[in-house]
Amino acid sequence: MQTVSQEELARHQSPGDLWMAVDGDVYDVSKFARLHPGGSQIIEQYAGRDVTTVFFELHRKDVLVKYARLRVGRLEGAKDGGGALGEPGAISAVPFAEIPAFQGQHSPYYGESHRRLLQAVRAFVQTVLEPIAESADLAGEYPDLELRQKLGRSGMMAIRLGPGPWLKPLSSWGVKIPGGVAPEEFDYFHEMLAHQEFGRLGRPGFIDSLGAGFGISAPAIFHFASDAVKQALGPQLLLGDKWSVLSISEPFAGSDVAALQATAEKTPDGKFYMVSGLKKWITDGAYADYFVTAADQDDVLHLLWHSDGHHEQCEGARRELDG
């Protein structure tokens, strides 16, 4: 990439020929000016100079990631390796753009392992998810099997469930917790950082498609299902080979779980449950393999997982219904 002098930068400040520098990187915004949401006038006003301060007063750093293709060079005298974009996973030096603990402030909650995990998850989000997020969100596309497996095998499914026994067998399946964090070291602050980095995508629909249904259904399986079920489904879910969702909401029951009308009755041989009722608004349900379904049996709430007609009660997940 070419080195651009201040004099060269200053020559590009007329309509149709507009360059500007942000944090050491030089961008050709000549064509983009016509598409700028704030109009071309403000770009023409500041073209031909370093606009780092003005830019960050109005934009997030993510805007530069989106338009990285407009970079044409590096401003003469700028520090090597700098720039607002940095390497994937880099910690920003922009004031207040990060949790203070990652910009040099002391914290009793965050340590080196949290920094490593944050940078590993951020790099994954920036390199794997950001390039497809906008198009997938606008098209209403849900993640295909390849992407779901990539999420699982990179540890992104397991860490968003928080600390728990599901972390220990990951290494035996060839999966590492991002940042090399040990299972016994992983805490809720690590989990929070993972959700934060996914949230930076800024597209709620696309973010939910990456495991919102899994995140509220898999814990029921890991906590309450039989050992045989956990051993069978656990690797499938955490590796992204299969997808689970939570099936509670109904036309007449949403957050008011006690009002659900779906029923579960055992078959005469006592081996299966017959579930009757309607379920709606099942997050990620369009491409799920397993459904953790809430149903009423004699005023007792049961959680059942099912797939392809097979049902099993999640042990210990029985609750008396009020009213």
Helix%, strand%, coil% for the chain, nearest 5: 40, 20, 40
pLDDT at 106 over 50: yes
* Mean pLDDT of the residues in the chain: 89
Q: What is the pLDDT of residues 9-39, one digit of tens each?
A: 999 999 999 999 998 999 999 999 999 988 9
Model confidence band, residue 84 (pLDDT cutoffs 50, 70, 90)? low
Q: What is the pLDDT of residues 177-233, one digit of tens each?
A: 999 999 999 999 999 999 999 999 999 999 999 999 999 999 999 998 889 989 999
* CB atoms near residue 180 (< 10 Å): 11
pLDDT at 318 over 50: no
78's tokens: 């700028």
Q: Which residue has the tokens 């149903």?
A: 295
Specify the amino acid at residue 122. R
Do the beta carbons of residue 245 and residue 214 sit within 8 Å?
A: yes
Give residue 81's pLDDT.
53
Q: What is the pTM of this model?
A: 0.77
Question: Which one is predicted more confidently, 305 or 229?
Answer: 229
pLDDT at 70 over 80: yes
How open is the CA angle 226-230-236, to the nearest 5 degrees? 150
Q: What is the pLDDT of residues 268-289, one digit of tens each?
A: 998 888 889 999 999 999 999 9
Q: What's the Rg (C-alpha) of the chain? A: 25
Q: Which residue has the tokens 């403000």?
A: 42
pLDDT at 157 over 50: yes
- In whole angstroms, give the CA distance from residue 206 to residue 212: 10
Question: Which one is predicted more confidently, 54 or 86?
Answer: 54
Question: Which one is predicted more confidently, 305 or 156?
Answer: 156
Specify the amino acid at residue 181. V
